[in-house]
Structure 1
Amino acid sequence: MKRYQIVLAVFTFVLFSCHGQTSKNVQTITAAAFSEKIKATPNTPILDVRTPEEFALEHLDNAINVNWLGSSFTADSQKYDKTKPVFVYCKSGGRSKQAAAKLAALGFTTIYELDGGILKWNAAGLAKPSDKIIGICSQEYAELLNSDKKVLINFYAEWCAPCKKMTPYLLQMQKELAPKITIIRLNADENKTILQELKITELPTLLLYDNKELKWQHAGFISEDDLKKQL
């Protein structure tokens, strides 16, 4: 018993030591602070941990694509100086949080993670101004709401874990509730323009309209039962 208690004590000490090191090495900061830190530390790696397809659509200036979901994340990360700061971001913060923890475990001493990802970056007005419309425009979005039925808009992404959990019952509800409610799913990566105009900073996001008026809004996962209560 005594030996077991000693082993347990050592394990607990190591666990909390590692946790402390990770939280100490990783700083999750706002988009504005992230931008200022980048300016203050030039020539510092800015790691975009999204997929190559997402990276190709948009990314921060001078960012390097190191795919968290790829098989070579660890090897690619090891190319950089662990004693110097490194910046990490993704679309909404989920993957960058995991990537930052991994970098800390690999021995990186100063890791800045973008809170809320590139969605918060764009919402803060830090993206480069562009006249290019990606996906539907505001006029087309307004036309989606032109219905005598309630309209539920679902912004999602293929890489988003909560979105994937919700997809099966949302597709089923599209059929079952069709006589009363129109459910429209919009891929956030393919509709950047309207996403920015609506200031959506988290996925999934649900917007319920009645007579073109926004009646309810929800960000993050929601169960099928709880969603049906709102409809």
Structure 2
Amino acid sequence: MKNRKFKFSLTAIVFLITIAVFSQGQSANVLLDAFYSKIKSQKNPQIIDARGPEEFALNHIEGALNFNTKSEDYEKQTAALNPSQPVFIYSIAAYRSGLLATDLSKKGFSEVYILEGGIASWIGGGKPFYSNLKSKLSLAAYKKIVAENEYVLVDIGSKYCATCKTVKPILESIRTQYREKLKIVEIELEESPQVIADLKNVKVFPTLILYQKGKIIFKKDGLGDLKNDVDTALAHN
């Protein structure tokens, strides 16, 4: 009985905090399942892709509009939105979506939600999306590579992701050190979105996964100390 009271109290507190946040005209970062659920609850959801037009053209959430605070028609785009209805925003990371969310909140929008992990979380979580290309790498080919090599390091990211770019020189250092002992596979959203969706375990860019004989040794959401983690894993296996 005490546990039920505690759960009820905790839920009530979270609810009250959410109300307080939105009453102050602020935005909220939410995880994929909550973001998706809130979108599905709306008859005509206001979804905004805050990335650049080149990124949007390659892939995006179905039904999304594309603009951010730097867009030439920004004021016109925001004027077309209903400030009394929820707005759902995403980008690659949090920067562009955060700027847009902050400005919309200042303009009086009552509910502004930012997708934690951005487009990586949406596609990597297997949610429906638009893409104008066919993935270069299929899930079957991915599994074949993982199964046929003793060690495989997979780097999943996007060419538009700033943090993803810092991974590349580290991968080159690892490739030079381990050579044939370690197979490195680089997967970009702009080339193989469907395999990222099919994996259903990507939450952010970059995501790094190390396999040994087909089994995951580690999975990193973000860069971290990749070189040290690879060295430690291979030394112990």
TM-score by length of 2: 0.70
Kindly provide the CA deviation profile for residues 35-56 of structure 1, in whole angstroms up to 9, marking residues without a partner as x: 4434554455321112223322
Amino acid at match of 1:206: L
- 5+ unaligned residues in a row in structure 1: which ranges? 1-19
Kindly provide the CA deviation profile for residues 83-121 of structure 1, in whole angstroms up to 9, marking residues without a partner as x: 333221124555423432343345544312223333333
Q: Cα 1:210–1:52, aligned 2, differ >3 Å: closer, same or farther?
A: same
Aligned residue in 2 for 1:27: 28
Matches within 5 A, 1:1-231: 24-43=25-44, 45-67=46-68, 70=70, 72=72, 75=75, 78-81=78-81, 83-85=83-85, 86-91=87-92, 93=94, 95-105=96-106, 107-122=108-123, 124-127=125-128, 134-199=135-200, 200-227=202-229, 228-231=231-234
Q: Cα 1:105–1:62, aligned 2, differ >3 Å: closer, same or farther?
A: same
TM-score by length of 1: 0.72
Helix, strand or coil at the partner of 2:60 = coil
Helix, strand or coil at the partner of 1:87 = strand
Displacement of 1:74 after TM fit? 5.1
Please tell me whether the aligned partners of residues 22 and 105 of structure 1 are also in contact (alpha carbons under 8 angstroms). Answer: no
Displacement of 1:224 after TM fit? 4.9
Q: Cα 1:81–1:65, aligned 2, differ >3 Å: closer, same or farther?
A: closer
Please tell me whether the aligned partners of residues 62 and 128 of structure 2 are also in contact (alpha carbons under 8 angstroms). Answer: no
Displacement of 1:33 after TM fit? 3.6
Q: Cα 1:123–1:41, aligned 2, differ >3 Å: closer, same or farther?
A: same
Please tell me whether the aligned partners of residues 88 and 114 of structure 2 are also in contact (alpha carbons under 8 angstroms). Answer: yes
Query: Percent same amino acid among aligned pairs?
Result: 28
Distance 2:93 2:184 in 1: 23
Aligned residue in 1 for 2:5: none
Displacement of 1:64 after TM fit? 0.8
Please tell me whether the aligned partners of residues 29 and 114 of structure 1 are also in contact (alpha carbons under 8 angstroms). Answer: yes
Please tell me whether the aligned partners of residues 155 and 203 of structure 1 are also in contact (alpha carbons under 8 angstroms). Answer: yes
Kindly provide the CA deviation profile for residues 155-179 of structure 1, in whole angstroms up to 9, marking residues without a partner as x: 1211222212222222232233214
Helix, strand or coil at the partner of 1:206 = strand
Please tell me whether the aligned partners of residues 45 and 80 of structure 1 are also in contact (alpha carbons under 8 angstroms). Answer: no
Displacement of 1:26 after TM fit? 0.6
Displacement of 1:60 after TM fit? 2.5
Q: Cα 1:84–1:51, aligned 2, differ >3 Å: closer, same or farther?
A: same
Amino acid at match of 1:65: N
Helix, strand or coil at the partner of 2:190 = helix
Distance 1:63 1:166 in 2: 30
Aligned residue in 1 for 2:12: none
How many residues end up aligned between the 2 structures? 210
Q: Comparing 161-170 with 25-34, which one deviates more in the overlay? A: 25-34
Displacement of 1:24 after TM fit? 4.7
Kindly provide the CA deviation profile for residues 11-62 of structure 1, in whole angstroms up to 9, marking residues without a partner as x: xxxxxxxxx7897521223444434434554455321112223322332232
